[in-house]
Amino acid sequence: MKKKRGWRTRLFVKRVSKCVMRSVCFYMVFTVVNAVAAGALPVEEVAPGVFVHQGVHEEGLTSENIGAIANVGFIIGEKCVAVIDSGGSFAEGRLLREAIKKRTEAPICYVINTHGHPDHVYGNAAFTVDKPHFVGHRNLATSMTARHPYYFKYLERTLGLEHARESALVPPDVMVKSSQTIDLGKRKLTLRAWPTSHTDNDLTVFDQKSGTLWLGDLLFRERVPVVDGKLSGWLATMKGLGRIAAKRVVPGHGTVSSTWPAAMAPQGRYLRTLQVEVRAAVRAGHSIQQAVGEVGASERGQWQLFEAFHPRNVTVAFTEAEWEN
């Protein structure tokens, strides 16, 4: 009888959790739609002068979400403003720019891209009128240029030709080789370029004044992490990230957290599970197709968009593990 009650309880909790997440996703999409009508992207001040818009947990860009699926935001100094990731389209970038103009008269002097995925960089064009420096990892320009033809077709397919053309490619004119500090006026930001991890062009931004660390997609929360670089490199990078004494962290996707490095624990568990089980599959002589069906079963149900991205992660990790052998 107790086993039966326990089964029913787990089923109820699972159903309630799904309903809650559907409600959250609906609310976030509704917020984006309202932002278009209001003319500015809704942002939250997570620390004095530090503003974040949390992206919706959806698989890709659509005309409804205007590409606003990643976390974007800005930091206000006494001299000027730095944008941290500009969004997935010109439309989102324009709304982010309006959100800045509503909060300060300071000029926008930097647009910093944490990496080159389309949901983080295709709002850049909305800021060219401000003539800021566009800043990124030393590998960002090469990656953006190489992938742009594919990404443009993706934008055209998802947002339409007009919005795709507006969302022009704007590569960095300032490239961070290792570490660099910029000053917004009594507010210094430390930029750090990392070895190949989530991508081969990951950059973090640390606001010294508030202790806020912007991680880009080096940190995923709630939705499953995406491996587009090197799994072993990402796990190594996480050790370095964990040594940064941050008061709060802004992930590339998911909620801002003030528990650091604990906020990284679920991602670490997932990536380690992926690595261990993929290596075991390779040693056992299993095919990629077998690995996709076997690896990471314990993580299913722990992440949003798991079915959309986990098979790709297994494929990338499998190829990496084959080269290790």
- Does residue 239 share a domain with residue 197? yes
Residues of 50-82 as b/e, b for ≥16 C-beta within 10 angstroms? Answer: bbbbbbbbbeebbeebbbbbbbbbbbbbeebbb
What is the pTM for the complete model shown?
0.89
Q: In 3D, which of 171, 97, 177 has the Cα closest to residue 133?
A: 171
- Does residue 256 share a domain with residue 113? yes
- Does residue 214 share a domain with residue 137? yes
Residue 190 within a domain: yes
For the chain, what is the mean pLDDT?
91
Taking only the tens place, the pLDDT of each residue in 159-187 is: 999 999 999 999 999 999 999 999 999 99
Q: What is the dihedral of CA 42, 242, 137, 222, to 10 degrees?
A: -40
**CB-CB neighbours of 319 under 10 Å:** 13
- Does residue 309 share a domain with residue 174? no
- Does residue 179 share a domain with residue 223? yes
- Does residue 208 share a domain with residue 69? yes
pLDDT > 90: percent of the chain: 86
pLDDT at 325 over 80: no
Look at residue 39 in the predicted model and tell me its pLDDT: 87
pLDDT at 5 over 90: no
pLDDT at 17 over 70: no
pLDDT at 234 over 70: yes
pLDDT at 37 over 60: no
Look at residue 22 in the predicted model and tell me its pLDDT: 42
For 221, the domain range is 28-263
Q: How many residues does the chain have?
A: 325
9, with CB counted inside 10 A (0-12, 13-18, 19+), is: exposed
Taking only the tens place, the pLDDT of each residue in 114-155 is: 999 999 999 999 999 999 999 999 999 999 999 999 999 999
Look at residue 324 in the predicted model and tell me its pLDDT: 86
- Does residue 215 share a domain with residue 276? no
CA quadruple 42, 44, 45, 49: dihedral positive or negative? negative
Q: In 3D, which of 220, 208, 274 has the Cα closest to residue 54?
A: 220
Q: In 3D, which of 275, 168, 295, 170 has the Cα closest to residue 227?
A: 275
Q: What is the mean pLDDT of residues 196-202?
A: 98
Residue 9 within a domain: no
Look at residue 203 in the predicted model and tell me its pLDDT: 99
**Domain of residue 136, CATH code:** 3.60.15.10
Taking only the tens place, the pLDDT of each residue in 285-317 is: 999 999 999 999 999 999 999 999 999 999 999
d(CA 206, CA 212): 6
Residue 23 within a domain: no
Structural domain tally of the chain?
2
